Amino acid sequence: MYNMKKYLATILLSAISVIAFAQVKHTVTKSAVIFQLKNMGINTSGNFGGFKGAIQFDPSHPDASSVEASVEVNTINTDNDTRDEHLKSDRYFDAAKYPKITLSSVYLKHISGNNYTGTFRLTIKDKTNTVELPFTYTETGNTASFKGTLKIKRTDYGVGGKSLVMSNDVTISIDVSTTK
């Protein structure tokens, strides 16, 4: 009986260490978070800075991997200072009350080749929704790149209210370079 418990404990510890070491910690070296929507029929775009990420990713075991990321709302940049200040107001992102937009992985899986998909919780203002984010992962030596694009409805997050001239559909592109 004692040997059986010892044997099971050894197997359990081995399994835990395999899972723990399977994840590879990535350190973000460069990032771009770009959004685009139509306003008055014209494509309008901008970006967010202040990206912070905690990425534990092993392409062989994406289901044991995790991603936590955020951007700072006050860094919004649309190349128009007046519009940027308007977007920081409580009608849009309410940067004073909600200074960060966050993305947290629920589940990651391999599709084929360098293609993966993830289910994430996206929080903007006080609204959290589950989104699907297909992405590519490529490695070159000690560096890696994550690139993905998703579409959301801005009103699902209470951004901007109803509008006859501004599209509800927003495309967000994320490009992150890391060292591992």
For 22-65, the pLDDT digits (tens) are 568 999 999 999 999 999 999 999 999 999 999 999 999 999 99
Tell me which of 2.60.120.10, 3.30.310.10, 2.40.50.700, 2.40.128.110 is the CATH number of domain 23-179. Answer: 2.40.128.110
Q: How many CB atoms lie within 10 A of CB 131?
A: 17
Average the pLDDT over 108-136 and give the result. 97
For 53-69, the pLDDT digits (tens) are 999 999 999 999 999 99
Query: Taking the domains of the chain in order of start, what are their residue ranges?
Result: 23-179
- Nearest-angstrom CA–CA distance, 87 and 173: 19
pTM: 0.85
Chain centroid to Cα 53, Å, comes to 8
For 71-100, the pLDDT digits (tens) are 999 999 999 999 999 999 999 999 999 999
Q: Please, which residues have CB within 8 angstroms of residue 156's CB and are 6 or more apart in sequence?
A: 127, 129
